[in-house]
Structures are given as C-alpha cells and as structure tokens.
Amino acid sequence: MDYKAITDTFTELALKAGEVILEVYASPDFDVKSKSDESPVTEADEKADALISAGLREAFPDLALVTEEQAATHGQSVSTFLIVDPLDGTKEFVQRRGEFTVNIALVEDGVPTHGVVYAPVLGRLFRTLPGGGAEEIKPDGTDATPLKVATPDNAALKVVASKSHRDAATDEYISKYQVADFLSAGSSLKFCLLAAGEADLYPRLGRTMEWDTAAGDAVLRAAGGEVHAWEGGALKYGKEGFANPFFICFAPGVELKDR
C-alpha cells in the first residue's frame, strides 16, 4: 500500500473539509438536526462528509469506506478499510467551543495504522507519517513537530477526559491516581494531547464508535502511546456495528489501576 499517498490524501481532504466546516461555523445561524440515536448533526457534518467520501473513493477505489454519516456503510464486515468522522465533537461545534475535529484513518487487519486529526479552529493538525511516527503541523504545512508521548510521573499525572461526556464513573476511576493536572477536551483531541506529551492518561467509560477513535488512536500509537480495551488488550477495529467497548489510553510507564 502507498502510505505516502494515504498521508497526503488524508491531509489534503482534512484541510479542505476544515474549510467547509469553518464556513458553516462562521455563519450567524445553522440548523441542527437529530439522528436516530439522538446525536446532533449539522450542515457542516454533511458537507464535510460528502467532500471526504468523494475524495477517498476517487483516490482509493479498492478500499472499503466506513463513515459516520452514511448508515449504508455501517453494515460491512471488514478488517482493512478507511474510516471517517467528518466532524467529531458536533456538540462542541454547536456550542461554538472550537474543540471539534476532522478524522480520517486507515485500519489494516483490525489495527488503525494511519490517520489524520485536524482541529480547524485551533489550527492544529496531527498525522501519522508514511514511514512510521507522527507529527503535528500547521495547516499551511509548516512547523512540523515530531509527536512523542511523555514519560509520566505517577506521583503527578496529567489526565484528560471528555468535556461533553464526563460522568461519575470516570471521576471515580481517575480518583485512584495522583493527579497533578486535569485537562478537559472535546472530540478526538484527547488522543492527540497524549500523543503530544501534554497528557499521560485518558480513560473513556462511555459510548464511542470506531469512527470517533480510529484516527486519534493511530496518531497516539504512532507517537508511542497505547490504547487498550477496558478489559485488556489493544483496542480492535472492524467489530460488528463498529461500536467500541470502554477503553483507556496511556503513555507507557503509567501504573494502571484496577479497572
């Protein structure tokens, strides 16, 4: 597989989708609809999805595509595929908090190997590299910074959790650790904060889908981090229905507590 083409295409489409999303974000008002699971969807989700899907199908016609906004793609049984969340963190988008992302990933044999996460309002783009590793770059392609997870201090951990979906069970689990700094972030940015060494631990005790996590998971693993299912073992992709179990992300060296 041509991983350079994967990286270049993912980056180009994420940036273009970001432009479309920001056009809607800048408008004084936009419609918000509810999907069958009662999650919100906006014109920005739909426009970004159409752009990304068309670009991926043209560039990689032989790869299966799974995308959040196209229910017809959710019934596939695949282990190697492209997976897209065109606007992760729609609640952040609707509330104009800025912490939403464009997510595009490649899953190979159940493992997310390549991905791009782009936060257009924050101007942060995180991506895996064709030959291994990951980097953060500016939207204009400058200031490439290699990503590497931190070496954690278990006496003073930096923990990140969901801004919109944090609950009592999450707080109870976090209370088992000695926490020096607590970060709250929306969307797949939580994976990227770990990848950039800005946090050490991210527990997720709540519903997520594979399109929510694949790109951030790929970036974090490429930066040296780990993503485990709550019951143990690396988080797998291509599951029936593409629903995730609870999971935990961490920098190696974190002394994990009983789950």
| pLDDT value of position 177 | 97
Establish whether 67 is an annotated binding residue: no
Q: Which residues pair with 84 in a beta bridge?
A: 67, 104
Establish whether 88 is an annotated binding residue: yes
What mean pLDDT is reported for the chain?
93
| pLDDT value of position 145 | 97
Say if residue 39's pLDDT is above 70: no
- The rounded percent of the chain whose pLDDT value lies above 70 is 94
- Per residue in 137-158, pLDDT tens? 999 999 999 999 999 999 999 9
Mean pLDDT confidence for 45-70: 97
Distance CA 170, CA 249 (A): 13
Mean pLDDT confidence for 201-220: 96
Say if residue 45's pLDDT is above 80: yes
| pLDDT value of position 31 | 67
Is the model more confident about 28 or about 74?
74
Per-residue confidence band for 38, with pLDDT thresholds at 50, 70 and 90: very low
pTM score, whole prediction: 0.94
CATH, domain range 3-146: 3.30.540.10
Residue ranges of domains in the chain: 3-146, 157-250
227, 185 contact by CB (below 8 A): no
Tokens of 9: 């295409």
Per-residue confidence band for 187, with pLDDT thresholds at 50, 70 and 90: confident
Is the model more confident about 93 or about 77?
77
Half-sphere exposure at residue 138, Cβ-oriented, CA atoms within 13 angstroms: 4
Say if residue 255's pLDDT is above 70: yes
230 burial level (CB within 10 Å; 0-12, 13-18, 19+): middle
Distance CA 170, CA 21 (A): 31
CATH, domain range 157-250: 3.40.190.80
Same CATH topology for 3-146 and 157-250: the answer is no
Mean pLDDT confidence for 48-71: 97
Establish whether 18 is an annotated binding residue: no
Per-residue confidence band for 162, with pLDDT thresholds at 50, 70 and 90: confident
162, 186 contact by CB (below 8 A): yes
Establish whether 85 is an annotated binding residue: yes
Establish whether 258 is an annotated binding residue: no
